[in-house]
Structure 1
Amino acid sequence: MTGKPLVGRDTQMCMSLSARPGNFGTRFHNRLYELTGLDFLYKSFSTNDLPAAIGGIRALGIRGCAVSMPFKEAVIALLDGLAPSAAAIDSVNTIVNDDGVLIGHNTDYGAVAKLIVGIAPDTPFVLRGSGGMAKAVAAALRDAGFSNGTIIARNEVTGQALADLYGFRWTETVENGAPLLINVTPLGMNGTDVDRLAFPAEMMAVCDVAFDVVQYPPETPFLRAADVAGKRRITGVEIATLQALDQFILYTGVIPTEGQIADAAAFAREQS
């Protein structure tokens, strides 16, 4: 293992902003800094004042910031520009600070695109959610050739807009099932939603693939039910690993080895 320098005046800081901060990203990035010997430090935060938080990134020279729910769209107006990955879907999950210039990126899209490889594009799907992460998932599905999809969202404005943008249908409530079920809501997430199942049992019965973007906890009620039923699963931890790796590369310019990535992912899962 390469020795990491002690934190000092030259240490570069990276961070995350989320309504419900978790440990995965913090442990993943800091472990990779340790393994690669980089003089970086990563810390997670929440905020009730997004403009002030983004101003702090700029003023304090924070090198990079991961952005999670519910800030992925609201943060756009506070940045100096968007990389193509974020501009294409109007959603930011990564901020890179180059000498005070803040550019938004989106590494969620690439992670989802990699994880849906092998699922036939003619597979019908139901996607629950209409926020920034839902945009990344819907865009990846559309670009992979999926066309038979339904967006479930209580908010008619955002739900219909998302469906129209990518050529899918919208409905307000859970109706019929599909072979591919995707949860892009806080249902099952730590907190008040931790015990809530994203889809009812009758929809799980006709499902082939259960896809949950929730990272904390790693095993949501939706994923546990899919496991019991013997369904293929795509997990929030898988998304977290792939998108965090791309963030790490954006922040540092360093591409870790496969062994270092596997080590950091295992380390992050221990206390996520």
Structure 2
Amino acid sequence: MTNSRTLTNVFGVIGCPVGHSMSPAIQNQAFRSEHIDASYHAFHVEKKDLQNAVTGIKALGVKGFNVTIPHKEALIPLLDEIESTAKAIGAVNTVVNEGGKLIGYNTDGKGFISSLRPYLSASLHDSRILIIGAGGAARAIYFSLAAYGAGEIDLCNRTVLKAEKLIEECPVKAKSRALSLQNAEKELNNYDIIVQTTSIGMHPHVEAKPLSLENIKSSAIVTDIIYNPIKTAFLKEAEEKGCKILDGTGMFVHQAALAFEHWTGLFPDVKEMHDIVMKKLGGTLC
């Protein structure tokens, strides 16, 4: 980084929509805290304009950027290089501009594991995990848990075939089964960690839940990657059952911190990032 503010010190996030993103607030504070002369902005990019946006990013020398819906998959063929984890997942959420070469990474799965670690009472290697959903977030989390060496990772989904396909496509083979939602509900007491990765329960449909937790054991950890509302109906039910709960702010902040590290070589203050997010989401607490 140079001391004078130049366009090479610009970072950002591209998506559609992107105006609601909290990334500028947390990343700009991280730059200030680390005394880095840089700025981070939200760039609204329509699907039809993605290729032109990437060309512009290269031409202007934007140093790095995050990627959010709906561009995480579509961006891949427009990049110069893809890190192996991101390639396997089939989605990119972080890009580094190294001398005009755009390199794609995926920090979602690693961010999830980092947010989960403080809540663990046993090793992930000895844990039985259930992932609800089989979309992009489930894929990133499943692939990362498999690579980490988690003991058993089952997937349940409305469409079981989609869960089976996700398991088959993982480059690291793990002990796994694909289940229907109904079967997962029946077997819920077998799991130490339950990970909710779907959009069910997100604002404004805050009362919706992906499945019942009637059969869950009180020693389980229940996580939901949704952070609006912070405490979903799913997490409320888990808390009522005596479970430890983890909302989606942890994964969001940790994936952002890992992106910052890719750009700067420095790992930011995660607590400071988390405090900013919680303050911004304060009005949505239930």
Contact 2:112 2:250 in 1 (8 A): no
Say whether 1:150 aligns with 2:154.
Answer: yes
Say whether 1:54 aligns with 2:54.
Answer: yes
Say whether 1:269 aligns with 2:282.
Answer: no
- Provide the residue aligned with 1:212 in structure 2: 224
Q: How does 1:24-39 map to 2 (within 5 A)?
A: 24-39=22-37
Of the three residues 233, 242, 245, the one matched with 2:245 is 233
- Provide the residue aligned with 2:199 in structure 1: 186
Unpaired segments ≥5 residues, structure 2: 282-286
Of the three residues 123, 132, 137, the one matched with 2:136 is 132
Say whether 1:123 aligns with 2:121.
Answer: no
| TM-score normalised according to structure 1 size | 0.81
Give the CA RMSD over aligned residues.
2.9
Say whether 1:13 aligns with 2:13.
Answer: no
- Provide the residue aligned with 1:169 in structure 2: 177
> Residues 171 and 93 from structure 1, CA distance in 2 versus in 1: closer, same or farther, beyond 3 angstroms?
same
- 1:231: how far off? 1.2
Question: Quick one: distance in 1 between partners of 2:8 and 2:231?
Answer: 35
- 1:185: how far off? 1.5
Contact 1:183 1:213 in 2 (8 A): yes
Equivalent AA in structure 2 for residue 41 of structure 1: S
Partner SS for 1:176: helix
Contact 2:115 2:254 in 1 (8 A): no
Question: Quick one: distance in 2 between partners of 1:174 and 1:46?
Answer: 40
Contact 1:135 1:162 in 2 (8 A): yes
Question: Quick one: distance in 2 between partners of 1:224 and 1:105?
Answer: 33
Query: Which deviates further from its counterpart, 237-246 or 208-217?
Result: 208-217
Partner SS for 2:214: helix
Query: Which deviates further from its counterpart, 34-43 or 238-247?
Result: 34-43
Contact 1:123 1:146 in 2 (8 A): yes
> Residues 267 and 99 from structure 1, CA distance in 2 versus in 1: closer, same or farther, beyond 3 angstroms?
same
Query: Which deviates further from its counterpart, 29-38 or 105-114?
Result: 105-114
- Provide the residue aligned with 1:222 in structure 2: 234
- Provide the residue aligned with 1:250 in structure 2: 262
Question: Quick one: distance in 2 between partners of 1:34 and 1:59?
Answer: 26
Partner SS for 1:266: helix
> Residues 129 and 74 from structure 1, CA distance in 2 versus in 1: closer, same or farther, beyond 3 angstroms?
farther
Partner SS for 1:162: helix
Contact 1:153 1:171 in 2 (8 A): yes
Equivalent AA in structure 2 for residue 103 of structure 1: I
> Residues 183 and 71 from structure 1, CA distance in 2 versus in 1: closer, same or farther, beyond 3 angstroms?
farther
Question: Quick one: distance in 2 between partners of 1:31 and 1:173?
Answer: 41
Instruction: Report the number of matched residues.
Output: 263
Question: Quick one: distance in 2 between partners of 1:195 and 1:45?
Answer: 32
1:103-157 per-position Cα deviation (integer Å, ceiling 9, x unaligned): 1112223223334443443433321222332122112322343353322234555
- 1:172: how far off? 4.7
Unpaired segments ≥5 residues, structure 1: none
Question: Quick one: distance in 1 between partners of 2:272 and 2:126?
Answer: 36
Q: Determine which structure has greater relative contact order: mean sequence separation of CA pairs < 8 Å that are 6+ residues apart, divided by chain length.
A: 1
- Provide the residue aligned with 2:92 in structure 1: 92
- 1:61: how far off? 2.4
Question: Quick one: distance in 2 between partners of 1:215 and 1:59?
Answer: 35
